[in-house]
A and B are shown apart, each in its own frame.
Chain A
Amino acid sequence: MLELKHISYTVESEGKPLSILQDINLTLDGRFIAFTGPNGGGKSTLAKVIAGIIKPTEGQILLDGQDITDMTITERAKAGISFAFQQPVRFKGITVKTLLDLAAGKRLSVHNACAYLSEVGLCAADYINREVNDSLSGGELKRIEIATVIARGTKLSLFDEPEAGIDLWSFQNLIQVFERMHRDIRGSILIISHQERILNIADQIVVLAAGQVQQHGAKEEILPGLLQGRSCIKTTGSCCGRKG
């Protein structure tokens, strides 16, 4: 279970304080939780706060009751948090196999490494010895990024817009990947997405806008309103939702 208590994050912009996250309070104990909301609403920032990449200016984070607020990225990774970047990083010279080994925390057999790649719809033999460099397309990189999170198998997996930069054909496969993960995973998945089909797999949906939690509840409660545009999502303090 992940608890966020009074999380705020403020930066300085042109000499003035700019609030990115404001007093976020959430208790997340579902298996598959989707974060959605307009761009610039604070979703990615919140995911980075959870992974330890960004330190909040205020608040406390608890993972299964343990206070992880002051833990480093590495300590949080070891405590059971994984993070799939929205824009995966490229490495000259590091192969897909090495990255999967590092993710799994052990030297994987080729068979096991291939299994993780097959899981995300990549023909494993073609990729295992490829370098994670510019020769890979955005979609390939994205799937390898997801495979590293699967290889870690931690109790909390964060995905920052896995659909971003993926073509429609790849997206169909991606949905199946997440459907499988929802079925098989023992831990929790926290996924940032704008895609209806991903939101549709979720057990819970959190709507984040203007750095605040606008709505949080079961998918059945939240999704119909989002789809019909009746829900009022604040972006800059005013109501921008399309009235149905």
Chain B
Amino acid sequence: MSEKKTFQKLNFDPLQIQMVQQVAELHEVPEGAYSFRLNGQSAAVQSSEHITIVKKEDKPGIDIYIAPGTKKESLHIPVVLSQTGLKDLVYNDFHVGEDADVVIIAGCGIHNCGDQESSHDGIHSFYLEKNARVKYVERHYGEGDGIGGVVMNPTTIVELAEGAYLEMDTTQIKGVDSTIRETRGTLAENATFIVKEKLMTHGEQYAETVFNVDLNGRGSSTDVVSRSVAKGKSRQKFLASINGNTACTGHSACDAIIMDEASVRAIPELTANDVDAALIHEAAIGKIAGDQLIKLMTLGLTEEEAEAQIINGFLK
């Protein structure tokens, strides 16, 4: 077996290594294809036999070409910003060939210990060809003791050809002061788009999630599920718009726990433009149920420990 490559060898500093662990759970340089972006610059890129990464010429970002039939390969594309006041904008386009089946792990971590705002706007476009399957995992994380804000505005554009499948797991648990997370999907015949969002805000944070899915092909389906916790004085807004333009199925759910003086607004929108479009939405916002706290306290947990368990479980 080949020797594991460490991030020290790629000249990452200790803070950057720690952030990469936070957002991508990577303890060493992964095998296969990757692209690491540090402080607005490409820091390390590696293509593999079936996954080719090409730097864009006209704007910041990369094009990723995944060959048809590629199976069981993964691609890591984490972004780390550790320099205060940096405004990073990047375009990553994923071209996934027919019958490919891959896992893509993205994530953005910002460490801001200065007094200026740091921001990362990542625009990710996925073009899946016939019967391609992608599991896309992204994690957003902010930290730092400076007074400068951490801002992330990820945009995800998904175009699914016939029979294609994309599952997106998106998580923002901590430290992002302001975010507008926009996801747009267009689905052809028998395509499937699954979204699982986990979100927690605290302090004075603001998070807005916008989903817009067009079910254009017969037999296409989408399931958009968001679970969120709003603490402190944070505010959240959730908009999920599903348009059923043919015989299709769509479901969206927003399930939020509200605490302290937080505010959560959920706006589910369904549009059926075909008699065979079956669309459902659910939205529930509420505080932690008193009997849940009592049950865990009868097991010996303090009220604070019980609350933490309930939230951890909810966002797991």
Contacts and interface: CB of A to CB of B under 8 A. Distances in A.
A148 interface: yes
B313 A91 contact: yes
A85 B296 CA distance: 11
A89 B316 contact: no
Contact of A93 (B297, B303, B316): B316
A20 interface: no
Interface stretch (B56-64, B173-181, B267-275, B286-294): B286-294
B137 interface: no
A148 B316 contact: no
A73 B298 contact: yes
Contacts of B303: 74
Q: Which of A53, A85, A89, A105 has the most CB of B within 10 A?
A: A89
A73 B302 CA distance: 9
Nearest to A103: B299
A152 B295 CA distance: 13
A51 interface: yes
Nearest to A100: B299
A94 interface: yes
Interface stretch (A76-84, A165-173, A218-226): A76-84
Given A89-B291, A94-B310, A152 B297 contact: no
A73 B313 contact: no
Given A74-B303, A102-B309, A92 B297 contact: no
A72 interface: yes
B167 interface: no
B32 to A, nearest CB: 29
A147 to B, nearest CB: 12
A99 to B, nearest CB: 8
Contacts of A92: 227, 255, 313-314
Nearest to A84: B298
A89 B301 CA distance: 15
Nearest to B296: A102
Contacts of B289: 89
A212 interface: no
Interface string A87-129: 0110111110011001101000000000000000000000000
A72 B316 contact: no
Contacts of A83: 298
A91 B298 contact: no
B67 interface: no
A169 B174 CA distance: 48
Contacts, number: 61
Contacts of B292: 89, 91
B315 interface: yes
B196 to A, nearest CB: 12
A150 to B, nearest CB: 12
A201 to B, nearest CB: 23
B300 interface: yes
Given A93-B316, A94-B310, A94-B313, A85 B295 contact: yes
B315 to A, nearest CB: 7
Contact of B298 (A77, A95, A98, A105): A77
Contact of B300 (A77, A88, A89, A99): A77
A93 B227 CA distance: 10
Contacts of A94: 309-310, 313
B300 A98 contact: no
Interface in A36-60: 51, 53
Given A89-B289, A102-B309, A74 B301 contact: yes
Contacts of A131: 313
A20 to B, nearest CB: 18
A74 B295 CA distance: 10
B299 A102 contact: yes
A74 B300 contact: yes
A205 to B, nearest CB: 25
Nearest to B306: A74
B313 A74 contact: no
Given A89-B289, A93-B315, A148 B299 contact: yes
Considering residues B289, B297, B301, B312, which has the most beta carbons from chain A within 10 angstroms of its beta carbon? B297
Contacts of B295: 85, 88-89
The winner among B295, B299, B302, B310 for most chain A CB atoms within 10 A is: B299
Q: Which 6 A-B pairs have the closest CB atoms?
A: A93-B313, A94-B313, A77-B300, A73-B297, A89-B295, A83-B298
23 contacts: A74-B297, A74-B303, A77-B298, A78-B300, A81-B298, A82-B298, A88-B295, A89-B289, A89-B291, A91-B313, A92-B227, A92-B313, A93-B312, A93-B314, A93-B316, A94-B310, A102-B299, A102-B300, A103-B299, A105-B299, A131-B313, A152-B299, A152-B300
Interface of B: 227, 255, 289, 291-292, 294-303, 309-310, 312-316
